[in-house]
Structure 1
Amino acid sequence: MESGTTGRQRTPLDRRRVADTALRLLNEVGLDGLTVRTIARELDVKAPALYWHFKDKQALLDEMATEMYRRMVAGTPLDPADTWRERLLKANRGLRAALRGYRDGAKVFSGSRFTGLVHAEQMEETLRLLTAAGFTLPQAVRATTTTYVFTLGFVTEEQGVEPLPGERREGYDVAERTRRMADYPLSAAAGPEIFADYDRHFEEGLALLLDGIAARYGAG
């Protein structure tokens, strides 16, 4: 146990506790403001104590992404009776919801490496479901990774405008954009299709992908 300034015992410092604290702070300060020093101060320890568990900030981001995935899986139960379309819809809707729960959530998740095999069970189940539906393994991989990358990219752009649900960054007033682009009428009119109604646009984009997957691979 580490001793505090008051002499009372603290909860032992471990990777999970550090990641939990970092995710909570992420919503307050964003990715740019999330430093090892900030996390250590919140935990009431010195920064070197965190390097005992994480060699650098990327290692911490990896653990944060892993914890985000754990929470996502816990909140997105999958049905073995799903069709391949239902599975990909559920998985990507769940991913988007999970990422939007954190400021800069998509940036944290993008490019991170899971720190264990937390993803393997769901991945195996999804690939098994798609191959049973008639996909070859390469086709199943392409279908799952393409929809995953779409969702990750979509939320990255979405959070550039709405960092958290109900919050909107300054400079993304669609009406003002339309006025400024009056000489470019089609581009001006495209504003609401780019910077608003993200729920509908996500569903439309995902449906386009699923229709393309079905047409490309002859899946029902």
Structure 2
Amino acid sequence: MVPRKSPKLDKAQVVEAALRLLNEVGLEGLSLRLIAKELDVQAPALYWHFKNKQDLLDEMATEMMRRMAADWAGMPSGGDEGADWHEAFRARMRGLREHLLRYRDGAKVYSGTHFTDLSYAAPMEANLRMLTAAGFSSAGAARAWFTAYSYTIGYVIEEQATGGGGAEGARGAGGGQGYDLDARAERLAGYPLAVEAGWEMFRDQGRGFDVGLEAVLVGISVTLRGSGGS
């Protein structure tokens, strides 16, 4: 039997419920059936909007991008006269991290998905123009943006996997929650440098992100600014 579309349910409602539930159950626990229960509809009603979970994840990632784009639109451009492209770039990557941390497993949801509209296009164009105005070639700007973008998403995936992220992450919680660094140190007692590395990598992850981002930006400036990007 073909399910009938509910006039009271639209795609935006489903996505909003999915993002809300994501913080409660995480990516693995999220299902169309659970979302249907949250919305007080039968599960088949959701299939009018999403044929499977991946379709839903694509729309969730797109909604996350829409919200980020709204924030990025108000940020200064490093291409403006007298402006610092480094600081503009830092602000965008910090903003990306903050948005991903608003959701449990937010970086996993966001990575590897396909945007369902062109909401990403205007901010991407603006960010690339920022870099080309600062002396990057178009290829160098593309590589620079993708490098920092990939660093940020990968960092947050690891941060959330070790308990340092999620809905609490954007409110300033330190990294390493749920990851017992003392127990790790005991297991690695014969490897003092590995123990020290754990304290550096898994504690105060906000500071760690900024340190790593600065290394990425310095590398980008040295190797890609003014180059062909290859």
Name the counterpart of 1:3: none
Determine which of 186, 192, 195 is the counterpart of 2:193.
Answer: 186
Look up the SS of the partner of 1:59 in the other structure.
helix
Name the counterpart of 2:3: none
Look up the SS of the partner of 1:183 in the other structure.
coil
Determine which of 65, 70, 77 is the counterpart of 1:69.
Answer: 65
For structure 1, the 5+ residue unaligned runs are: 1-9
Look up the SS of the partner of 2:152 in the other structure.
helix
Name the counterpart of 2:136: 135
Conserved 8 A contact 1:160-1:169: no
> Which stretch has the larger CA shift, 51-60 or 71-80?
71-80
Which amino acid is 2:60 matched to? M
Conserved 8 A contact 2:176-2:204: no
Q: Is 1:95 the equivalent of 2:91?
A: no
Name the counterpart of 1:29: 25
- Residue 26 of structure 1, CA deviation: 0.2
Conserved 8 A contact 2:141-2:224: no
- Residue 150 of structure 1, CA deviation: 0.2
> Which stretch has the larger CA shift, 67-76 or 190-199?
67-76
- Residue 169 of structure 1, CA deviation: 5.5
Describe the shift of the 1:25–1:190 C-alpha distance in structure 2 as closer, same or farther (beyond 3 A).
Answer: same
Q: Deviations over 1:49-107 (max 9, x none)?
A: 11101111111001101111112222342213343212221111000000000000000
Distance 2:86 2:101 in 1: 22
Which amino acid is 1:149 matched to? S
Look up the SS of the partner of 1:94 in the other structure.
helix
Look up the SS of the partner of 1:69 in the other structure.
helix
Conserved 8 A contact 2:19-2:103: yes
Identity %: 51
Conserved 8 A contact 1:181-1:188: yes
Instruction: Summarize the alignment of residues 134-153 of structure 1 with structure 2, pairs less than 5 Å apart.
Output: 134-153=135-154
For normalisation by structure 2, the TM-score amounts to 0.85
For structure 2, the 5+ residue unaligned runs are: 1-5
CA RMSD of aligned residues (A): 1.7
Name the counterpart of 2:180: 173
Q: Is 1:214 the equivalent of 2:214?
A: no
Q: Is 1:156 the equivalent of 2:157?
A: yes
For normalisation by structure 1, the TM-score amounts to 0.89
Distance 1:168 1:194 in 2: 9
- Residue 11 of structure 1, CA deviation: 7.6
Distance 2:87 2:8 in 1: 42
Q: Deviations over 1:130-156 (max 9, x none)?
A: 112211111000000000000000000
Distance 2:52 2:113 in 1: 13
Which amino acid is 2:10 matched to? D
Name the counterpart of 1:45: 41
Describe the shift of the 1:93–1:11 C-alpha distance in structure 2 as closer, same or farther (beyond 3 A).
Answer: farther
Q: Larger relative CO (CA 8 A, sep 6+): 1 or 2?
A: 2
Which amino acid is 2:213 matched to? L
Look up the SS of the partner of 1:190 in the other structure.
helix
